Structure 1
Amino acid sequence: MKKIVYITFVSLLAVACVPAKKYKELEAKYNKCQEDQASYKSQSIEYGNRLKEVEVELSTLKDAYEQLTSDTTKMMNDYRMLQTEYDRKVQSCSDLEKRYEKMMASGSQDMQKLVGDLEDTRVELQKKEDRLNKLEQDLIAREKAIKAKEERIEELEKVIKMQEKIVADLKAKITEALRGFADKGITVVEKDGKIYVSMEAKLLFPSGSTVVNNEGKGVLIDLAKVLQDQTELDIIVEGHTDSDPMKSSAHPKNNWELSVLRSTAVVEIMLGNSHMDPAKITAAGRSEFHPVDPDDKAKNRRIEIIISPDLKPLFDLISQSSE
């Protein structure tokens, strides 16, 4: 009896050996995908937050610049009024001095009063001159501050425009490369500074399969050729399924495995037909949990390629300019 059980066990082990090995390889790929996806998400959130901080700083600087310009205009008006008053006082002082000299020559009895008036005028004149000098220094300081803020605003606007241009140019190239497949379930949109290339699963895979068909390979190769020379990009390939459960005991056994295996198959084709940097691309599976249309399962079965400009060089530029 024991011998029969042993023979049966050995037979089953021989039959199951290949699927078990394949499963371990898939499980390793799946775990690696999850780690890469977590790392990418963390970097994406960090750079997204830093970009928002730059935009907030830019808005704050613009408000401060407008307020400073308004204050400076008012100060310039005050400066001109004070200069006019100062000139008037100088003339008054000169007139009093002439009267004083005339009275000294004529021996006028009003000499004492004139001396007092003259001294008061000189004191007031000195105060206004001191205020005028201080106001002039304040104007110089404010002009320097305005210039510094103008330069900072120009730098920040340049950085943001550079990032926007990179995304817009790349979207145009991708759209042109995939123009021939526009009516076959492919969309290219720009959102939040990223480019989303969405492909319906039927364009790439037979139902339930993880093997890309010939037409799908053509699409992926065309896209890879556009991206291969774009060195400062981070790319994540996401597999998505509908909510229907898998009915297979073989792999893929569930929607998680199906979504991961499909994204991995897409990545392998793109890397195998271009010189894209493997360190810049991540394969991930989202299963059925991110539908685009709850009422249309076909749209939910898709591959989504999310292309993000690498913002690190831009933030390095910001850091250097703020030191």
Structure 2
Amino acid sequence: MKKLFILLSVVGLSLTSCGTKKKIAELEAKNKEIQDLLNTCTVKLNTCLTEKEALNNQNDYLKKTNTDLINSSKEMTVLTTKGAQNLEKSLESLKEKDLKISRLQDALTKKDSVTLALVTSLKREVGIDDPDININVEKGVVMISIADNLLFKSGSYEVSDRAKGVLGKVAKVINSKPDFECMVEGHTDNVPIKNAVLLDNWDLSVKRATSIVRVLQKDLGVNPKQLIPAGRSYYIPLFENDTPANRAKNRRTRIIIMPKIDQFYDMLEKEMKTLGK
């Protein structure tokens, strides 16, 4: 009986020991499974943390970028406003310059029109058939060139009666233009002259110019305020003074009829100065 009891005890312990090992094995397997799961979760957690940090950094960058864009947008708005204002000022400036250019062109056109009308009037009054009289426009003014043999005797500054007839027609046009000036230029050839009355070619050219001016003023009623006498001697020849024919052509009196400077040229100069600002 005693032996049976011991045998049963041994069998019971053996069975109990086998059950415990199995349980332990199951627990160890379960523990390993849990550990693996924990490791997996840890890896995922670390990945999530890394991604979170990256997202936070990206979020900060986007916030900064957004702020910068907002600031840039404000600056661009300011710049655009200033640009629009500058453009508007530039357009106004261009309009002003266009207006000044238009005025300048109108003034020049008006001057050209007056000059053309004056030439037409002179050619009608004086006539264009006489080869000793030449009427043309040079540098914006009207010039009447009268040959020496039509006005004076050789070496003299006394105006001939024939010349007074031509000068009378010129005076008629000058008197019709009280706002114009008339410059009378005396020109000689290069043959030296000196006598009891004349010192040289300068003297001859000046005395011829003043003689014409006196006739225009005293005999033909031209306002002396419009008259300007000038002597040019032989320094502005039309041709070389190398033949008698050429010297004859160089002996001439030139009458220049021009608008008063204060009426046209001052206006043009003023417009040019204003245009340059």
TM-score range, shorter chain: 0.5 to 0.7
Matching of residue 196 in structure 1 with residue 146 in structure 2: no
Cα separation, 2, equivalents of 1:317 and 1:254: 39
Could you tell me which residue of structure 1 aligns to residue 125 of structure 2?
177
- Where 2:182 maps in the other structure, the secondary structure is strand
The answer (yes or no) to whether the contact 1:204–1:215 under 8 Å persists in 2 is yes
Matching of residue 234 in structure 1 with residue 181 in structure 2: yes
1:167 corresponds to which of 103, 115, 118: 115
Q: 1:136 to 1:285 in 2, by over 3 A?
A: closer
Q: 1:222 to 1:129 in 2, by over 3 A?
A: same
Q: Which amino acid aligns with 2:208?
A: R
Cα separation, 2, equivalents of 1:119 and 1:245: 94
Structure 2 counterparts to residues 203-218 of structure 1, below 5 A: 203-218=150-165
When the two structures are superposed, what TM-score results if normalisation uses the length of structure 1?
A: 0.56
- Where 1:196 maps in the other structure, the secondary structure is strand
Unaligned runs of 5+ in 2: 1-54
The answer (yes or no) to whether the contact 2:174–2:182 under 8 Å persists in 1 is no
Q: 1:230 to 1:125 in 2, by over 3 A?
A: same
1:255 corresponds to which of 177, 185, 201: 201
Cα separation, 1, equivalents of 2:92 and 2:202: 60
Percent identity of the aligned residues? 29
Deviation at 1:118, TM superposition (A): 6.5
Cα separation, 2, equivalents of 1:229 and 1:205: 26
Structure 2 counterparts to residues 92-241 of structure 1, below 5 A: 116=63, 122-180=70-128, 182-241=129-188
Cα separation, 2, equivalents of 1:210 and 1:311: 30
Could you tell me which residue of structure 2 aligns to residue 308 of structure 1?
258
When the two structures are superposed, what TM-score results if normalisation uses the length of structure 2?
A: 0.64
Calculate the aligned-residue CA RMSD, in Å: 3.2
Deviation at 1:176, TM superposition (A): 2.3
Q: 1:118 to 1:257 in 2, by over 3 A?
A: closer
Q: Which amino acid aligns with 1:262?
A: R
In the TM superposition, what whole-angstrom CA distance separates every residue of 1:194-246 from its partner, at most 9, and x where no partner exists? Answer: 22211111112233333322321111100010011212223221222222234
Could you tell me which residue of structure 2 aligns to residue 298 of structure 1?
248
Cα separation, 1, equivalents of 2:216 and 2:196: 26
Could you tell me which residue of structure 2 aligns to residue 83 of structure 1?
none
The answer (yes or no) to whether the contact 1:198–1:302 under 8 Å persists in 2 is yes
The answer (yes or no) to whether the contact 1:203–1:216 under 8 Å persists in 2 is yes
